[in-house]
Each structure stands twice: as structure tokens, then as C-alpha cells.
């Protein structure tokens, strides 16, 4: 099928055209970073307004990139959650309106599922992982570990109990007076910093379970700043590198522990924090040492975008082309579960 996918769960407005669930014909994205930078984070009402402003322009751009017209689209896939409800509604109502107008099928999609399956797209210099594989979603709102058994079959092994890793990056950056998005600023400064300069805690540094926690690390940085003040120049780079190293250590340790416990030899890292250069470098080295194949999409597909919806949109739309539009009841959901949960991990593996 030739599918149009729409993503508007937070502060990126994106429309993509994906063929056969694998080949990206277009992937247009409008970022709202300049809008939210002055506030140090995403303002939900402003995000919704800017989605309304940008959606038609982004849609036209995607059609132009692909060289197709709306009548050529055979189905629609749109993020229905989790995310900011006001933002989600813009993409949802656009997709439903187009699907209704052209009598095409439309499905609501889980944002987390899209991150887990981005690597199933046809990507340059990156082969497609075979099932099953371990998926680490690491972003501003999520830090989760899943076994991806097949499309539609996911098993949750662990998740953050408080702040997500990306949220910790942004909050620490704000303490340091760095610009939004904070994770990008810390990553940039860390490149010239010494990661061993400060010994910050590694939260939940235990193999007895696969959950995460980053609020304590954030507090440790705050206490350090209260005592020492906000550093400058090389000292600032060293602090950023040391904080980043603590986060990366935990992410890699938990991921490889999950691989060993579940006899998995393939690891997929996804989400916005997967753009982090230190995480990508350390993960490659650690996976090589453990005999685990690592799959990370290009940075442009790790942050929120519509193309990542392609594999699950195609999978859900298969066989529905003749049904036309029937899905009036797709609704925006701020929170959504994904797959089944295995809570016995912490007791079975020591």
C-alpha cells in the first residue's frame, strides 16, 4: 500500500508517505524548537496552535516530495497516543478528514510501537533486525525495555519509575542555564569534557530488575550545583560529560542485562536520546564486546517523525483497502499501554 502517516504527539508536525511499510517516499517535519526555547520546555497550548498552523504546509510538502496526489493514497496511519491530547487531535482529525473524504481506511497508532519498529524501514547501511529483538525506547517521556517478538507482540521488561532519561537531560540543562532542547546542549558540551571528572550516582545500579530511575541523579547534580555553583568553560563541559556518562552507563548496563537474561542477540535503541553521540558510541562498543547486534536508526528518524509509523501502519492496514473509511471512533489518548507486562523479571533473575 501507499500509506500517508501523520505524527503530532508533541512538538513536531510531520507527514510521511511510505510504500509497502518499508520505503520512505517523503518525510516532512516542522519543528517547534524556536517556539518553546524561550520557555525552556514544551508549552502544550502553544504546541497545539502551531500544529494547526503547520499541518497543511507539511502535508503539501510531503506530497511534493513524493510526487503523488491525495487520490493516490491507499490508507492513513496517525499517532493516537501517547502524547499531548491537544497536539494529537490536530493530526488525528486531519487524517480522519482525509480518509473520510477519499473513502480510505485509517488506523490510530501507538507512538511507542512506532519507535520500536523504526528500524524495520529500508534504511541506508542498516540491515533489518530479525525477530525477536530487545528494544530500548529512550526519550523525553519514556525509558522502556521491551522484547519485540513480532509486530503487534511486545513484552515490557522494565521502565522508568520517575523521570525519563531525556527529561533528566533537559532538567539538568535547565539548572545549568543551557538552551532548550537541553539534551542536545549537554551532548555538544560533553564532547570536549572529561566524563571521569565527577562521580555521579548510577541510579538503580542493580541487575535484580530492569526498571530505571533518574530523579536521584538529577538531585545529585542539583546538590553539586548548590555547593559548587554553576561552572563555566572546561568545568562546565566536564560536569556535562560526567552526568551524561552516568545516564549512558545505566542505559547500556540494563539493556545488555536484559539481552543476557532473555537470550537475545539483537538490540534496537530508539527515541530522541538515541541521537546522543556518547550513547551511540558506547552502545556499539559494549554490544561488540557482548556479541550483540546493535541497530540504531539515523538521528533524523530517532526524533519524532511520521515515517517511523510506516511499518505498523502497513501492518494494521493490510487487507483493509476495500473497506473504505469506517474508523470514526479513533480518539486521542494521553497515555497508552503497549504489549503485555512481565513483572516477574526482578524475582527470577539475580
Report the alpha-carbon distance of residue 209 to residue 344 in Å, rounded.
9
Q: Which domains does the chain have, with CATH numbers?
A: 2-116+303-338 (3.30.420.40), 127-296 (3.30.420.40)
Distance, CA of 236 to CA of 238 (rounded, Å): 5
State the DSSP code for 219: H
Condensed to tens digits (0 to 9), the pLDDT of residues 117-154 reads 999 999 877 889 999 999 999 999 999 999 999 999 99
Nearest-CA neighbor of 309 among 50, 99, 91, 84?
91
pLDDT at 345: 42
Instruction: Give me the percent of the chain exceeding a pLDDT of 70.
Output: 98
Computed on alpha carbons and rounded to an integer, the radius of gyration of the chain in Å comes to: 20
Over 60: is that where the pLDDT of 200 sits? yes
Query: Which of 105, 117, 100 has the alpha carbon at shortest distance from 76?
Result: 105
pLDDT digits (tens, 9 = 90+) for 274-305: 999 999 999 999 999 999 999 999 999 999 99
pTM above 0.85, yes or no: yes
pLDDT at residue number 32: 96
Beta-carbon contacts of residue 1 (< 8 Å; ≥ 6 apart):
19, 20, 21, 74, 75, 314, 317, 318, 321
Return the C-alpha cell found at 205: 545500579
User: Residues near 90 by Cβ (< 8 Å), separated by ≥ 6?
Assistant: 8, 13, 48, 51, 52, 55
Amino acid at each position: 500500500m501507499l500509506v500517508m502517516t501523520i505524527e503530532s504527539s508533541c512538538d513536531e508536525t510531520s507527514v510521511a508517505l511510505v510504500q509497502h511499510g518499508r520505503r520512505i517516499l517523503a518525510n516532512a517535519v516542522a519543528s517547534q524548537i524556536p517556539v518553546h526555547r524561550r520557555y525552556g520546555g514544551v508549552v502544550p497550548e502553544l504546541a497545539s496552535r502551531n500544529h494547526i498552523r503547520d499541518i497543511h504546509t507539511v502535508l503539501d510538502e510531503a506530497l511534493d516530495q513524493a510526487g503523488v496526489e491525495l487520490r493516490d493514497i491507499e490508507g492513513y496511519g496517525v499517532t493516537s497516543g501517547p502524547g499531548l491530547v491537544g497536539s494529537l487531535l490536530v493530526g488525528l482529525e486531519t487524517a480522519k478528514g482525509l480518509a473520510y473524504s477519499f473513502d480510505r481506511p485509517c488506523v490510530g497508532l501507538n507512538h511507542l510501537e512506532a519507535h520500536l519498529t523504526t528500524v524495520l524501514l529500508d534504511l541506508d547501511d542498516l540491515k533489518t533486525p530479525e525477530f525477536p529483538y530487545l528494544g530500548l525506547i529512550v526519550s523525553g517521556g519514556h525509558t522502556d525495555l521491551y522484547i519485540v517478538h513480532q509486530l503487534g507482540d511486545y513484552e515490557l521488561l522494565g521502565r522508568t519509575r520517575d523521570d525519563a532519561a531525556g527529561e533528566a537531560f533537559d532538567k539538568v540543562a535547565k539548572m545549568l542555564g543551557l538552551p532548550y532542547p537541553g539534551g542536545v546542549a549537554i551532548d555538544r558540551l560533553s564532547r570536549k569534557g572529561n566524563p571521569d571528572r565527577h562521580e555521579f550516582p548510577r541510579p538503580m545500579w542493580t541487575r535484580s530488575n530492569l526498571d530505571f530511575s533518574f530523579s536521584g541523579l538529577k538531585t545529585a547534580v542539583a546538590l553539586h550545583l548548590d555547593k559548587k555553583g554553576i561552572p563555566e568553560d572546561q568545568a562546565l563541559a566536564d560536569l556535562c560529560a560526567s552526568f551524561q556518562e552516568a545516564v549512558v552507563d545505566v542505559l547500556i548496563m540494563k539493556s545488555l542485562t536484559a539481552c543476557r537474561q532473555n537470550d537475545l542477540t539483537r538490540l534496537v535503541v530508539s527515541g530522541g536520546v538515541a541521537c546522543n553521540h556518547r550513547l551511540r558510541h558506547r552502545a556499539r562498543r559494549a554490544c561488540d564486546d557482548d556479541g550483540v547486534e546493535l541497530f540504531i536508526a539515523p538521528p533524523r528518524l530517532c526524533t519524532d517523525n511520521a515515517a517511523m509509523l510506516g511499518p505498523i501502519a502497513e501492518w494494521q492496514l493490510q487487507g483493509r483497502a476495500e473497506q473504505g473509511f469506517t474508523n470514526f471512533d479513533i480518539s486521542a489518548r494521553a497515555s497508552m499501554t503497549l504489549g503485555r507486562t512481565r513483572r516477574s523479571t526482578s524475582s527470577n533473575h539475580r
